[in-house]
Amino acid sequence: MELALPAWFEIGSFIVLILILVADLLIVYRRPHVPSVRESSLWVGFYVGLALIFALLMLVLGDAEHAGQFLAGWLTEYSLSIDNLFVFVIIMARFSVPRKYQQEVLMVGIVIALVFRGIFILLGAQLIENFSWIFYIFGAFLLYTAVHQALAKEENDDEGENGLIKFLRRHMSISNEYAGSKVRTVIDGKKVFTPMIIVFVAIGTTDLIFALDSIPAIFGITQSPFIVFTANIFALMGLRQLYFLLGGLLDRLHYLKYGIAFILFFIGVKLVFHAMHENELPFINGGQHIEWAPEIDTWTSLGVIVGTMIVATVASLIRMRRESRAVPAAHGDERAAEISADRD
């Protein structure tokens, strides 16, 4: 069912969102700095509030169903974007990006992500419109991704570079030092690339991989291209500030990846059920719809997504608290052993 929203609202929404992103990009370009916790908190709160206001407008101008689809899609994409931040942290550390210029790197990463997701949204919408069986493939892909995410070992900063980056190092003159946020610089009268080109390539390939996960995930919640694209924009806005707000907390949210894996698994199951319900493949049930396949509604999906993220976050915080208590206790035991040894 198409979203019954005025054309002026859809067009106006894209114009406003693009203007906000451009303004954000100009701020980063003109004033590169490390944002404080207060500044990051205010910006993250602003973007979250903007998303909630947008959902309210959809409720007023459209209906509750599609407002719920936007919220569920936005939260799903937001959780996947946070997962993306884990990889960004690793990339920044691996290539020793100066903290002052990390904002610009993140902003470039967000723009690249929007471009990739825009392309995949258009392709996905066309596939869904013409081939209902594509939901089987989307569902299977998300189920595989969820299992892989849950079972994958922790990322290691010392892991080898991917083939594309190795190729660039072999065939391009790349300096060892950064020149601010420049991609090219001049050393001894010779133009060379800076390590920033490698960082951008790493960010871009990461965005491509995450776009492959995120687009099938949100199409499992809604088939409206307008909702899919706006949910992605809102999920990516504020991601830069969230990176600095969470800081070192990201790698300590141990159970977040399992929460995201569960969400992907849930949506994968939902997609398979939807494909079965709309089945037209002749070798499955004779090409007839499988009526017993349940359709999971939007509000159930929203509840599962919110509940999963809350449980994963709370469980991570509890573990962090226990670990922080264990460290002083361990130091106390070592100190007591040293005192005992001195007395002896």
Count of the separate structural domains present in the chain? 1
Q: Do 245 and 40 form a contact (C-beta atoms < 8 A)?
A: yes
Is residue 160 one of the residues assigned to a domain?
Answer: yes
Residue 72, pLDDT > 80, answer yes
Structural domain harbouring 244? 7-343
Which pLDDT score is estimated for 48?
92
pLDDT in tens, 185-203: 888 778 888 888 888 888 8
* pLDDT confidence band for 283 (50 / 70 / 90): confident
Q: How far apart are CA 59 and CA 70, in angstroms?
A: 10
Span of 60-64, 152-156, 241-245 with lowest mean pLDDT: 152-156
C-alpha of 333 from chain center: 42
Residue reference for tokens 């599962």: 304
Which pLDDT score is estimated for 219?
86
Is residue 1 one of the residues assigned to a domain?
Answer: no
Which pLDDT score is estimated for 158?
41
Q: Do 146 and 268 form a contact (C-beta atoms < 8 A)?
A: yes
Residue 55, pLDDT > 50, answer yes
Q: Could you tell me the pTM of the whole model?
A: 0.77
* pLDDT confidence band for 54 (50 / 70 / 90): very high
Calculate the alpha carbon distances from 88 to 133, 192, 227, 338 in Å.
34, 25, 26, 42
236 token code pair = 């990516």
Residue 31, pLDDT > 80, answer no
Which pLDDT score is estimated for 15?
92
pLDDT in tens, 294-313: 788 888 888 888 898 889 88
Is residue 2 one of the residues assigned to a domain?
Answer: no
Is residue 177 one of the residues assigned to a domain?
Answer: yes
Which pLDDT score is estimated for 58?
92
Residue 159, pLDDT > 50, answer no
pLDDT in tens, 210-267: 787 788 888 888 888 899 999 989 988 878 788 877 765 666 778 888 888 898 898 8
